[in-house]
Structure 1
Amino acid sequence: MRKSGILSKQYLCRGLFQRGLWFFSSSDEVELKAVAVNVTIQDFVADVVSELFFRNRLQVSNETVFVFPVDSNTVVHTFYATMGDTRIEAMLWEKEEAQQLRKATSGMKNLRYLQDQWDLWGPVFACFLGSLPPDREVTISLCYVQELPLQPDGAAQFCWPYELFPQVFPWRRYDSTDQISSEEIPKNLDFIVCLKSAHGVSHVDINCSYTPLQYIAPDQTSAEVSLKSSPWLHSDLNLLVYYRGSHSLSAVVERRDPKAPPGSLLGDPVVMVTLRPYIPEVVPNPGQLGEFLFLMDQSLFHDAQNTLLFLLKSLPLGCYFNIYSFGATFKAFYPQSVVYRQESMDNAVRRISSISPGLGGCDLLGLLRSIYSTPLLQGHPRQLFIFIQRKISNEEEAVMAEVSHYRDQHRCFCFSTCDSFNLSQAMALETKGECVCIHSNMNMTSEVMKCLQQALQPPATRISLHWDLPPGLEVSVIRKAPEMIFQGHQSFIYAQIHGQAQDPEMGEGAVTLQYHVGSQSFDYTLRFSLSPSADDRWNEDLTPCPRKLSVHRMAMMHLLWKLFWEGTNRAEDIWHSTVKSSLSLGVLSPFTSNVAVRVKQRNAGHCDSLPQDSCMLFSPCNLVPCQLLWLRGSQPVWFKSIKFWMLQKSQFCLETLGHKAPDTEAPTQLSASCREQKPPPEEQVMEEPPAFNMSWDWPISPLSTRLCDFSRLRAVVALQKANGSWALTAALASALGLSKADVEGQRPNENVQTTVWATVLALVWLHRYKWKVSWSELLEAKARRWLYDQAEVQLEECLEAANRLLGCFVEPIIFRI
């Protein structure tokens, strides 16, 4: 474990947590002795109450610090540490006052030192706990609420890091089928999970030994399970919860706080609706295919030319697209996104070489703000393909704030090198996209085309919710439905229920989800109870955490950020109301900040919350370094050694050697045809670029047959039309390794159109080399679709002639759509 260099402090943080961030863990010298965790999972929200007991095994005192992540799907509302009769509690305070208190806190510079010294990256809460004496214990109490991700099979996934399990039997590991006697069940592991769903709990899947699922309610809407051991093979706990029935729509209503005034968020019931639309595998109608934006880091451009060509050729007719290059400044190919057709595609291909390599600044933030300021195109989901190489050292937090603000309006696919991996991963996770770490240009093309296949899957669009409540009640939506939901994803909607029902006997409400997938429309209606049973899962004296209000806390987090982005925090009444709500629920907001205090307890077992209005607590001697930090570490999580990285760089050098295409007519004719075509007025470019250079200017290696084949593949792809067809030209024949006379002479008969014959020939050739590269799948699909749309096409005769001419045997299944 790495030491900081300041007072040789040993940090209690190591190990990865879900979503690529990291969580509290023990160093080798501070042993995790026992764990008590209670988790309540209701549909797709988890409420976690945990106590961690650590002991310093050193013979000297050990400086310790507690660190945990604060992402957009988690609300950590309670944290305190107890060492003997000393208690340290983190609480929220109005931001300006908290800043004044920090000025009086000694050691804050040590806390900020973590920002540049830590190996990992992201927004975290950090609190120094001080010196832990030899052979003494510290108890960490942590409570948080978290929205759970949806798995492809419909399960709700809850994770807990392996480092937060006590090592009871280090010499043996159990799997979930092992029979463990009661004497062997560890006494220092108390891990209980309570499951609730109106749909009913079906079963669970856990990667460790656990007790049989015990149903608490006769209708199986409530169940409980306990862990018997930690996960095997040093894995994180992975708990999957499966529910019964349809999962397209679910609702959880949480009762109001009787102590809060009606009309406030706490004083009204809050409903959380989970949207998981069913999306069939259909082909969307033209005009509903999406807006694809390609953001290219100029310093990465030379290695991405092939990838950009494949992307442009693989887009479907009727979608919208644009290409941006960014460095110290950014430029767009078009002032706004244009329709994908032959003219716009040819123009974009020609403009690729206008992207000049640049090693200056990296204005990704300015580019994103420019994109987000342009209106969304109705029926065209926005998806960003971001290629980034350089580290953005000073604007990462601002970039993530912008991405988070618009996360329901777009999706990011990020392709990065080592330096920018963490930021890229965070952007992709925030928008439910994908992130790929690039280690060679060949790897880049393959991974990008896989992501494009995913991006072309039809999403649910035009999403709307309609409420039906008893007379006297109305709904105020806190977080509205997103612009789109993709296959396998979900979205959480929070709403506040106002008013008083005129008829108390009417205790049910209903919500209807409506959405479209292509030309198909869907709607689901769910009825839910407005009088949920009280959550008596834990008594108040069992845990020091405030009364459980998990749905209210998640709703409060979204409400506070909504008010912040709307700028309504300037109004005095709204500002005071939001600050008060933030403090009462322990929900961190743009208006509040963390403050930690150290006090001596009269009774070491006394666990009541510290009064925030007690001025004596905030004397300088009681203040503890505590702050929300943005760590700027740059080490990616999966590069395990320098040796591994060097092997990847060696592969990159070998693969880029010899990428010059054979001397064919394709580059010349392509450039000439592009120059002859002029875009329509709405697609006029900002400046006239030079012709696209298809020679790629890389030295040829006669020893690399694979790379020569790849050069021919590029030439064939460059000649494909936007609609998926090929023209019968000498350039195509040369790219296929044939003469034009041979190609024309082998045409089955005069009734076969030359374009059909050329398309079949190119399709068979692409399919023949598919075992070498998988990037041509989308190009083949476009060609098949074009052939399918042609009238009276003699495909069998064309296929037989193509097999004979190319010396291969491809079966007719190649034409199946």
Structure 2
Amino acid sequence: MRKSGILTKCYMYRGLFQRGIRFFSSSPEVKLEVVTVNVTIQDFIADVVSELFFRNTQQVSKETMFIFPVDSHTVVHTFYATMGDTRIEAMLWEKEEAQQLCNATSGMENLRYLQDQWDLWGPFFACFLGTLPPNREVAISLCYVQELPLQPDGAAQFCWPCELFPPVYHIGLLSSKEESSEKLHFSICLKSAHGVSHININSSHTPLQYTAPDQTSAEVSLKLPPWLQTDLKLLVYYRGSHTLSAVAERSDPKAPPGSLLGDPAVMVTLTPSIPKVAPSPGHLGEFLFLMDRSLFRDAQNTLLFLLKSLPLGCYFNIYSFGATFKAFYPQSVEYTQGSMDNAVGRISSICPDLGGCDLLGLLRSIYSTPLLHGRARQLFIFIQRKISSEEEAVMAEVYRYRDHHRCFCFPTGRCDSFNLSQAMALETKGECVCIHSKMDMASEAVKCLQRALQPLASGISLHWDLPPGLEVSMIRKAPEMIFQGHKSSIYAQIHGQAQDPAVGEGAVTLQYHVGSQSFSYTLRFSLSPSSNNRLPVHRMAMMHLLWKLAWERTSRAEKDVQHSEVKSSISLGIPSPFTSSVAVSMKQRDAWQHDSAMFFFPSCNLVPCQLLWLRGFRPVWFKSTKFWMVQKCQFCLEMLGRKAPDTEALTQFSASYREQEPSPEEQVMEDAPAFNSSWDWTISPLSTRLCDFSRLRVVVALQKANGSWALTTALASALGLSKADVEGQKPSEDVQPTAWATVLALAWLHQYKWKVSWSELLQAKACRWLRDQAEVQLDECLEAANSLLGCFVAPSIFRI
């Protein structure tokens, strides 16, 4: 296959099609003509059966390849393509046998070039379909199961990419609508024990038709694709509160009892209600800041603002990584005045490192450290360099511990690591923000910290109440915690035989804490659900079970269980760490069975087909192009100007600097700030903004861990005042200097809020400290501060 192959692009969005579906050919004239899709959505799981018909409209043959993205929330279990009398089918084999088959397959080089495709990144299923003759059709059959994401308004969202709709021209004409109805057959079946309330679809569709008197099932069909080539987005709303939902599924009657398929399975979705409460110190989280050492100049500002914004009582640590990684502390430490001072003083010790990037080793070290009981672990990862060949291993580690932490990622530079950063954030329900400038890095990081400090559900536990004779085996356990606006799906297997067959219900109770409040919800579910021979719950449960077996060290007895489950997964087509894909080309009239593990197809019938980890990148446009280029030029000049071998001069400088013994705050202030007079030659508005930012940096550096400020000359100077003026304007002798200085700094920060809206965390800390000082007359102090600063800040500021 030639590298000049054309692909249909798909825009990025959350869910399965975040990286889009691609149908590759050597010409764009291989067009999608007819689409048939049947979707069954039950609570938060979707079962999709689709058939796509492509036609070569050219008078010459075209080479074709089908590429489909996969993720940890999706199981693609069936794929085959039909061209005339030839059928190409993908299947799973155990890894060793699959490797032998791949070695015997010619044309594997047709897949290798995909490793360097510029806009394809992450795990993809790829199958080479061969040559499509002129005016001939290829039919793609694709079936998958997917966990649906939760939207902020509580809806379950299902997406289908616009590229997988047949093109519709002159959509205003009646003939076009009739033609579209012939090309598009898109039906959706909705089910929920809670009842289906309503739906929202961004395309023309039939009215929602209920198929059960209690409205627990409904159907809808599309009339036309979405307008203006946008992706289909279906939002499903269920009745009442669905803090807890369960989808039970009968066993496969053909499977042996005791196996996963031989027992009923249940998927329980947890969407806890999380009220906005002030967390107690014992429930504050653990914050880990991971800084790429090639960003060492930016680290000084960003780490300073993050450290100053943390609340008393949380735990934190700072890691810098390059060719190796280093931690400020052997393990996370409690956030106190002493630990904050120590960390601020060590920020300037981060040295540049333009070598390798051992993010994988750092993550493994962090994940090997036990979680602090009741504290959410949240990682802030600032990265500029590309991880290269370790991306797949990094994502495997993140996926393994995805229920134990959350990642906020900040890729910068040329954004070589953008895709990896976005994948880590999505996998852990965090956030990825591409950084455009140094100011953006600090502000965006603190904004994410605001979200990270929101209340969460912790101490999560599930309790089962089943009829005598039945018991539950957890496949995927409940997570340690669930963050606000997110859900978690767990899977369980139900063993045994009920002593009383007449009892057809079970119950599950969810218990959790938000701060000091406790919550409990109980849901009853049917143990005799309607039959579903497609087994979507079993398929998802099988995927989680196989990954669990791959991660755990198994004994000899467990090896037998593993072998049994792998055999079941092959029969279901569930990919796993123990299997690999193999595609076989055969004539439609040929009958075959995949019963014997030792049966091999002739090498001439094997087709290149693999799960590939692609390492392309997605280009990102920068808003502040000129500013960013100036920064990078300055960085390069500084690096070229350094004399690395002259260690004696550096040693002498460090020794003279240590003799002065500055405070941590003064150390940060005296250290060459990222924004100083060296930028004065830029245009006036930027120069003014940088001057304000430098003053802000000093004010922030002087704030104490508890949120207060001391009345010092440095603070007065940063506020544009003299210490004599500040002391002379103190409202009364009874007002403590620290309280007066804190009101002044708070008013000054609020005055510049339109420039630094992300300073709210610093202001909130100051307000909490002031409210604890019962003897302080806040209104009187604020009036004096307004007069001294020449501004007007309302007393409502103290209610932040």
How far is 1:602 from its partner? 1.9
> What amino acid does structure 1 have at the position aligned with 2:274?
I
> Please, which moves more after superposition, 781-790 or 296-305?
296-305
Residue number in structure 1 paired with 2:543: 557
Taking the TM superposition and a 5 Å limit, the aligned residue runs for 1:3-22 are 5-6=2-3, 9-10=5-6, 16=12, 18-19=14-15, 20-22=18-20
CA displacement 1:384-417 (0-9 Å, x = unmatched): 0000100011100000000000000000000002
Query: Is 2:701 aligned against 1:701?
Result: no
3-state DSSP of counterpart to 1:335 = coil
Cα pair 1:464 1:514 within 8 Å, conserved: yes
CA contact (8 A) 2:669 2:701 kept: no
Provide closer, same or farther for how the CA distance between residues 724 and 651 of structure 1 changes in structure 2, counting only shifts above 3 A: same
Alignment correspondent of 1:292:
287
Verify the 8 A CA contact 2:465 2:508 in the aligned structure 1: yes
Does 2:732 correspond to 1:749? yes
- Match in the other structure for 2:171: 172
> Which ranges in structure 1 are unaligned for 5 or more consecutive residues?
536-546, 660-666, 677-689
Structure 2 partner of 1:540:
none
Amino acid at match of 2:448: C
Q: Distance between the aligned counterparts of 1:11 and 1:775, measured in 2?
A: 42
Partner of 1:592 in structure 2? 579
Structure with the bigger percentage of helix? 2
Greater displacement, 715-724 / 785-794: 785-794
Q: Which residue of 1 aligns with 2:478?
A: 481
Distance 1:495 1:316 in 2: 38
- Counterparts of 2:732 and 2:8, CA distance in 1: 77
Out of 647, 652, 664, which is 1:674 matched to? 664
Which residue is equivalent to 2:29?
A: 29
Describe how 1:296-375 pairs up with structure 2 within 5 A.
296-375=291-370
Q: After alignment, is 249-258 or 183-192 more displaced?
A: 183-192
Kindly state the Cα deviation for residue 271 of structure 1 after the two structures are TM-superposed.
0.7
Please tell me the residue identity of whatever aligns with 1:555: A
SS of the residue corresponding to residue 784 of structure 1 reads helix
2:592 and 2:728 map into 1 onto residues whose CA distance is 88
The 1:68–1:315 alpha-carbon spacing in structure 2 relative to 1, beyond 3 Å, is same
Bigger Cα displacement from structure 2, 24-33 vs 47-56: 24-33
Q: Could you tell me how far 1:653 is from its partner in structure 2?
A: 4.8
CA 1:777–1:653: 2 relative to 1, 3 Å:
farther
Distance 1:244 1:668, change over 3 A: farther
- Conservation of the 8 A alpha-carbon contact between 1:83 and 1:137: yes
How far off is 1:567 after superposition?
Answer: 2.2
Amino acid in the other structure paired with 2:627: Q
| Amino acid aligned to 1:365 | L
Which residue of the other structure, out of 611, 621, 625, is the alignment partner of 1:649?
625
Residue in structure 2 matched with residue 443 of structure 1 by the alignment: 440
In structure 2, give the amino acid aligned to 1:728: L
How far did residue 774 of structure 1 move?
1.5
Name 1:121's counterpart in structure 2: 121
TM-score normalised to the size of structure 1?
A: 0.90
Give the letter aligned to residue 172 of structure 1. I
Q: Deviations over 1:754-805 (max 9, x none)?
A: 1111111000000000111212111001111111111122011011000000
Cα 1:459–1:194 shift into 2, 3 Å? same
SS of residue matched to 1:187: helix
The letter for the 1-side match of 2:625 is: K
**For 1:670 and 1:771, how far apart are their aligned partners in 2?**
37
Q: Provide the C-alpha distance between the structure 2 equivalents of 1:127 and 1:502, rounded to a whole number of angstroms.
A: 49
Contact 2:286 2:372 in 1 (8 A): yes
Q: Give 1:720-759 correspondences, 5 Å limit.
A: 720-759=703-742
Distance between the aligned counterparts of 1:671 and 1:767, measured in 2? Answer: 33
The reply on whether 1:803 has 2:782 as its aligned counterpart is: no
Q: Distance in 2 between matches of 1:277 and 1:753?
A: 45
CA distance in 1, matches of 2:661, 2:441: 25
Shift of the 17–745 alpha-carbon distance from structure 1 to 2, 3 Å rule, reads: closer
* Structure 1 range deviating more: 25-34 or 117-126: 25-34
Q: Distance in 2 between matches of 1:253 and 1:754?
A: 65
SS at match of 2:663: helix
Q: Which position in structure 1 is the counterpart of 2:149?
A: 149
Change (3 A) 1:300 1:372: same
Shift of 1:80: 0.1
2:459 paired residue number: 462
C-alpha contact (below 8 Å) 1:11/1:63 kept by paired residues: no
Q: Deviations over 1:120-139 (max 9, x none)?
A: 20001110000001110000
Runs of 4+ in 1 over 6 A off after TM superposition: 179-182, 614-617, 654-659, 667-671
Give the count of matched residue pairs. Answer: 766
Deviation at 1:16, TM superposition (A): 4.4
- How far apart, in 2, do the equivalents of 1:675 and 1:11 lie? 55
| Deviation of the 1:651 alpha carbon | 2.8
Match of 1:542 in 2: none
Q: Which amino acid aligns with 1:601?
A: Q
In the alignment, what sits opposite 1:541?
none
Gaps of 5+ in 2: 636-656
Taking the aligned partners of 2:121 and 2:669, their CA distance within structure 1 comes to 39
Alignment of 1:173-252 (within 5 A): 183=178, 186-252=181-247
Cα RMSD of the aligned pairs, angstroms, is 2.4
Q: 2:138 aligns to what SS in structure 1? A: strand
Q: CA deviation at 1:57?
A: 1.2
Q: Aligned in 2, Cα 1:144/1:419: closer, same or farther, shift over 3 Å?
A: same
**How far apart, in 2, do the equivalents of 1:129 and 1:766 lie?**
63
Aligned position for 2:744: 761
Cα distance in 2 for partners of 1:281, 1:532 equals 37
Deviation of 1:721 after TM superposition, in Å, equals 0.3
Quote the offset at 1:564 in angstroms.
Answer: 0.6
Cα distance in 2 for partners of 1:746, 1:12 equals 69
Q: What secondary structure, in the 3-state scheme, does the structure 1 residue paired with 2:182 have? A: coil
- Select 1:508's aligned residue among 492, 505, 514: 505
Q: How far apart are the structure 2 equivalents of 1:585 and 1:13?
A: 31
Contact 2:474 2:492 (C-alpha < 8 Å) held by counterparts: yes
Shift of 1:119: 2.1
Aligned letter for 1:441?
A: K
Who is 1:626 aligned against? Answer: 609
Q: Is the 8 A contact 2:24 2:66 kept in 1?
A: no
- Judge conservation of contact 1:105–1:620 (CA < 8 Å) in 2: yes
Q: 1:299 to 1:813 in 2, by over 3 A?
A: same
Question: Relative to structure 2, which stretch is displaced further, 576-585 or 460-469?
Answer: 576-585
Inter-CA distance 312–283: structure 2 relative to 1 (3 Å threshold): same
Q: CA deviation at 1:303?
A: 2.1
Q: CA deviation at 1:360?
A: 0.3
What is the one-letter code of the residue matched to 1:53? F
CA contact (8 A) 1:212 1:225 kept: yes
Q: Match of 2:236, as an amino acid?
A: V
